[in-house]
Amino acid sequence: MHATIRIATRKSPLALRQAELAAAALRARFPELRVETVPMTTRGDTPRHGADAHAAHAGTQAGADTAQADAHAAHAGTGGTQADLHAAQADTHAAQAAAHATHAGGKGLFTRELERGLLDGRADIAVHSMKDVPGQLPGGLVIAAVMAREDASDVFVCNAHDSLEQLPEGAVVGTASLRRQCQIRHRFPHLKVAELHGNVGTRLAKLDAGEYAGLILAGAGLKRLGLDARIRSTLPHDVCLPAVGQGAIGIECRDGDDAVLALVRELDDAPTRVCIETERTLARRLGADCRWPLAVHASLHGGVLRLRALVGDLAGRKILRDERSGAAHDGALLAAAAAEALLAQGAGELLAAFTAQSAAPSAS
């Protein structure tokens, strides 16, 4: 048995907490094992990446807001059509998509450096939020365990209201996720949904400073940080379906490192793995990742696997859904069928449009 296990982790409070949860689980099963954390800085954590992305977002958002304001003025002053107004709003959301993609930076933004640490021997395992893990892993690495999942739901955080339904018209709701943005815009078109980035503490500070009326966050992260008291309500999945892998902690290690694999696999939760693999299979079939306006959630009860998925446009005007159930061992078949059903509804066109918006250079 390994005398010591070194855990690669990001330096954010939530990442460190999740690494400690994995470490505690290993110590509980193997009391003689020494477990150390190896904090690393990923590209998503670097100040330069954040500054560049925020600058890009500010530039595209300012141009989009100006265009939308001009359209509102024209509509009010000259009897312009609703189509004109909707076109300007579409331009706004396209600009937001491009800025978001700049901020997101690409697949593996929060995992790549940890994986380098595994491959070059600086660490033995890496602990990730499964929603951050790209669909394809680097060669030589495997997800050896998926720990028991926390509630995957998104939650509403606010200092003055208990639910999104109570917010007044025009109230600003903050979230970094395009998945959440499209669903909230669809369900609550009278609210203004705005970009919000940073770790959990930064986001809560912006709420407390009055920059936002409310926030949409992953409930699992708040609970792991002991911030349950900030949660005002949990969003039902028919209001905001979670992201692929949300609420689950995955442990990655080198394929073929049998001694480490034997230890880590003791932490694997079989029902959670079935659900996560089903969700990830559907996302791979669509060619999508966590940056996209895609939501997928699988749950397993009494041997029945239920899979729900949606794809939307950023404006929230079009939401495509699919839901199906089957046996637990049929997760891959369910995922493939759900992906085909979404594509038949037009998901390919929606995702292609999003890709084109993300790739387009911002106006100067």
Is the model's pLDDT at 13 over the cut of 70? Answer: yes
Report the b/e string of 137-149 with b at 16+ CB within 10 A.
Answer: eeeebebbbbbeb
Catalytic: which of 124, 132, 313, 322?
Answer: 132
Is the model's pLDDT at 64 over the cut of 50? Answer: no
Is the model's pLDDT at 82 over the cut of 50? Answer: no
Q: How confident is the model at residue 52 (pLDDT cuts 50, 70, 90)?
A: very low
Mean pLDDT, the chain, integer: 85
- Residue 246 CB-density burial (10 A; 0-12 exposed, 13-18 middle, 19+ buried): buried
Torsion of CA 181, 184, 186, 189, to 10 degrees: -110
What tokens were used for 38? 């190896």
Q: With pLDDT > 90 as the criterion, what percentage of the chain qualifies? A: 72
The partner residues of 220 in beta bridges, in order of sequence, read none
Mean pLDDT of the 173-186 span = 96
Residue 217, Ramachandran bin (φ over 0: left; ψ between -120 and 50: alpha; else beta)? beta
199-224 pLDDT, tens digit each: 999 999 999 999 999 999 999 999 99
126-163 pLDDT, tens digit each: 999 999 999 999 999 999 999 999 999 999 999 999 99
Alpha carbon distance 154, 139 (integer Å): 33
What tokens were used for 270? 């079989």
For residue 169, which phi and psi values (nearest 5 degrees)? -60, 135
Q: How far are the Cα atoms of 159, 219, 226 from residue 230, in angstroms, in the given order?
A: 8, 10, 9
Alpha carbon distance 75, 85 (integer Å): 7
Catalytic residue flag (residue 132): yes
Cβ atoms of 294 and 320 closer than 8 Å: no
Which homologous superfamily is 269-364 in? Porphobilinogen deaminase, C-terminal domain (3.30.160.40)
How do the domains of the chain map onto residue ranges? 153-241, 269-364
Is the model's pLDDT at 54 over the cut of 50? Answer: no
Alpha carbon distance 167, 157 (integer Å): 12
E-strand stretches of the chain: 4-10, 34-40, 125-129, 141-146, 154-157, 172-175, 192-195, 214-218, 231-234, 249-254, 294-301, 304-312, 319-327
Alpha carbon distance 212, 208 (integer Å): 8
Q: How confident is the model at residue 110 (pLDDT cuts 50, 70, 90)?
A: confident
Alpha carbon distance 181, 195 (integer Å): 9
What per-residue confidence (pLDDT) applies to 2? 66
- Residue 20 CB-density burial (10 A; 0-12 exposed, 13-18 middle, 19+ buried): middle
Q: What is the DSSP string of 74-108?
A: HHHHH---HHHHHHHHHHHHHHHHHHHHHHH-STT
Query: Strands of 34-40's sheet, edge to edge?
Result: 34-40, 4-10, 125-129, 249-254, 141-146
292-311 pLDDT, tens digit each: 899 999 999 999 999 999 99
CATH code: domain 153-241 is 3.40.190.10
